[in-house]
Amino acid sequence: MSNLFFDLFKKSPFGPLHEHMVKVRECVALLRPLFEAVLVDKDPTKIDEIVKNISKTEHQADEIKNEIRQTLPGNLFLPVNREDLLGYLKTQDDIADSIEDVSVLMTLKTFEVPDELAAEIFKFVDKVLNVFDFCDEAEAEFETLVTSAFGEAERHRLLSLVQKAEHAEWEADKAQMAAAKKLFSFEDEMKATDIFLLFRVFGELGGVANHAEKTGDRLRRLLIKS
């Protein structure tokens, strides 16, 4: 694979990074189905299948990440700084890592979650996904910009997407707080272990949004320095 990655980097430094983002996107796409399987369907077979897919996809993302780190040329002219590219890669990879962490926590026990709380959790999940959507759209724009003349209109569009990701992350923070308050409002009705684990899940889920927002910020840094 190394020769293939080196050839891609000679054409564009963002070809392999985009391949990595494809795997991250596949992990993100499994996030809502995971919560539906746990909180709505309560289907152990379905949960197990989704968790295995997340683990497999996250591992594939790690393989691409490691290949990029080993292959990214140090003496080949790049339009952006090598260390900045690696920093961007790390924050992008952190998204998939947090999703895998969420999936592990969600399988430690069977949850009994009131419908009202489940509705609040899904609002939180959707806010997190919204952050990633803006980050993903910004990433799709960047490779084209790097290989073009970096027109002002294109720069403005990418910066606007990053700003939207930042606002969406703020919205996700608010949704996390709302979900946490709703969770603790059921402390007399739910098992303490369920409350503890779900609070941990909320933290990791918030991490997905944080990493997506930071990935967008890394893109902005790359754009400014290019």
108-124 confidence digits (pLDDT tens): 998 889 999 999 999 99
Q: Which long-range contacts (CB under 8 A, 24 or more apart) does 43-49 make?
A: 47/106, 47/107, 48/107
74-100 confidence digits (pLDDT tens): 655 556 677 888 899 999 999 999 999
d(CA 112, CA 39): 8
Range of the structural domain that residue 87 is part of: 2-225
d(CA 103, CA 107): 7
Read off the pTM. Answer: 0.91
> What is the pLDDT, as a whole number, of residue 152?
73
d(CA 96, CA 60): 10
26 neighbors 57 (Cβ within 8 angstroms): yes
199-215 confidence digits (pLDDT tens): 999 999 999 999 999 99
Give the domain CATH number at 42. Answer: 1.20.58.220
87 neighbors 186 (Cβ within 8 angstroms): no
140 versus 185: which is more confidently predicted? Answer: 185
159 neighbors 41 (Cβ within 8 angstroms): no
d(CA 213, CA 207): 10
Number of structural domains found in the chain: 1
| 13 contacts: CB under 8 Å, gap ≥ 6 | 72, 78, 79, 80, 85, 146
Range scoring the smallest mean pLDDT among 9-13, 64-68, 169-173, 207-211:
9-13
